[in-house]
Structure 1
Amino acid sequence: MKPLGVILAGGLATRMGGGDKALLPLGGRPMLDHVVERLAPQVDAMALSANGDAARFAAYGLPVLGDSIDGYPGPLAGVLAGLDWAADHGAVSIITVASDTPFFPKDLAQRMLGAAQGQTHPLVLAATPRGQEQTRSMTKGLIRHPTFGLWPVALRHDLREALSDGLKKVVLWTEKHGGREVVFDDPDTDPFFNVNTPEDLVEAERRL
């Protein structure tokens, strides 16, 4: 049984001048098109984590999940919204991906589920070897990409409590619950290249 998929599209996009990065054109189509097409074969169903007017994503026919925690606490709020949605559908876990990262691995879900074997609660973050492009959280010689994760529905209430207490750092929560990493090592490209600036969008066009 495949997990459910949640596309995290709730970022503020301050370095792009605000607005929805996911709807920026890439190859003549919204960047979100590429993300949806890459994730769809890997999951049983998908939803979008985004705040504001859901109508702007109406063309995708996906549930749009707003944060249930006030104050924009970051991507973990989107994870929580996804977990609540998945619980309503009787799912065990979700896979999250970022809406501004159009080249993530096509075997992301498969690799994460494999890395979760033996865990009481499946909790896995994507990682790349240190030195590959854009950094997130570095540890054990790895760069962790916390918007790309496998998350257990069973821990959603624990996550809600942690966010309500002011949790900001994803890895602090994952480490507390025995989270693992799955390493994607491609020496030729960064599979988690994300579009943060206008220059990044130009580079994404080149890679596409």
Structure 2
Amino acid sequence: MISPTDVTGVILAGGRGRRMGGQDKGWLMLDGRPLVEHALLRLAPQVGGLVVSANRHLERYRGLGVPIVTDPLPDYPGPLAGALGAMRLVATPWMLLAPVDMPWLPLETCERLARARDEADIAVAHDGERLQPLVALIRTSLRDDLAAWLADGGGKVVHWYARHRWCEIDFSDLGPRFANLNTPQDHVRAESGARGGKGDES
């Protein structure tokens, strides 16, 4: 098994938020707190340390008291650029990616991915309906390969995963916990309690 102290949680908050009207989703409010705080609360019990990948409102993110990394490549090249920035910072052999807009991420995500990965270097959650490529346990020694792949123009997350030993891990029993807030309509439904079982600690 992988110890939680061997894992750094990486919250991906560096996107453009195009489907949310260009808003920085980390600072959208839900149930009295911003989404980035929800993400920190979900990840903190699972890992040995935390990092937030962000590209806007950096001083505000720094006020959270955790390390902040920015994309090492220009023009918002995608979530794997944020992952690479974190890989270059962290000292742990593993990192757990999680998007900032998934406020009900299961508290056993890291443990289940680690337990079920077998010999894979990347373990990715599947919610029973679809793969969740940004909920993934990744070996940080892959940083050089990721840097080279991005420099060559690679972008799609699952295409990079396919270069390595990777596996899907079944979370179908917790599928609703992977609901994320991509659009203003998602946000409204979440605020009305229609999307995520608020108060469920699983």
TM-score (norm 1): 0.86
Question: Does residue 105 in structure 1 map to residue 92 in structure 2?
Answer: no
Q: Among residues 183, 190, 195, which one is paired with 1:204 in the alignment?
A: 190
Per the TM alignment, residue 109 of structure 1 is displaced from its structure 2 partner at its CA by 0.3
Question: Does residue 62 in structure 1 map to residue 66 in structure 2?
Answer: yes
Quote the residue 1:148 is aligned against.
Answer: 135
Mapped contact 1:42–1:109 kept (Cα < 8 A): yes
Match runs of 1:11-50 below 5 Å = 11-50=15-54
Identity of aligned residues (%): 38
Question: CA 1:14 to 1:118, structure 2 compared with 1: closer, same or farther past 3 Å?
Answer: closer
Quote the residue 1:128 is aligned against.
Answer: 127
Please list the CA deviations of residues 32-75 of structure 1 after superposition, one character each: whole Å capped at 9, or x if unmatched.
11111110000000010011342011331011100112232101
Mapped contact 1:115–1:181 kept (Cα < 8 A): no
Q: Which sections of structure 2, spanning at least 5 residues, go unmatched?
A: none
Deviates more, 1:64-73 or 1:36-45: 64-73
Q: Which sections of structure 1, spanning at least 5 residues, go unmatched?
A: 131-142
Mapped contact 1:83–1:152 kept (Cα < 8 A): no
Matched residues, number = 190
Quote the residue 1:169 is aligned against.
Answer: 156
Mapped contact 2:9–2:95 kept (Cα < 8 A): yes
What code does the residue aligned with 2:104 have?
Answer: F
TM-score (norm 2): 0.89
CA distance in structure 1 between the partners assigned to 2:32 and 2:126 by the alignment: 30
CA distance in structure 2 between the partners assigned to 1:44 and 1:117 by the alignment: 21
Q: Where does structure 1 differ by over 6 angstroms across 4 or more consecutive aligned residues?
A: none
Mapped contact 2:27–2:34 kept (Cα < 8 A): yes
What code does the residue aligned with 2:184 have?
Answer: P
CA distance in structure 1 between the partners assigned to 2:166 and 2:26 by the alignment: 28
Secondary structure of the 2:127 match is strand
Mapped contact 2:15–2:55 kept (Cα < 8 A): no
Quote the residue 1:96 is aligned against.
Answer: 97
Alpha-carbon RMSD: 1.4
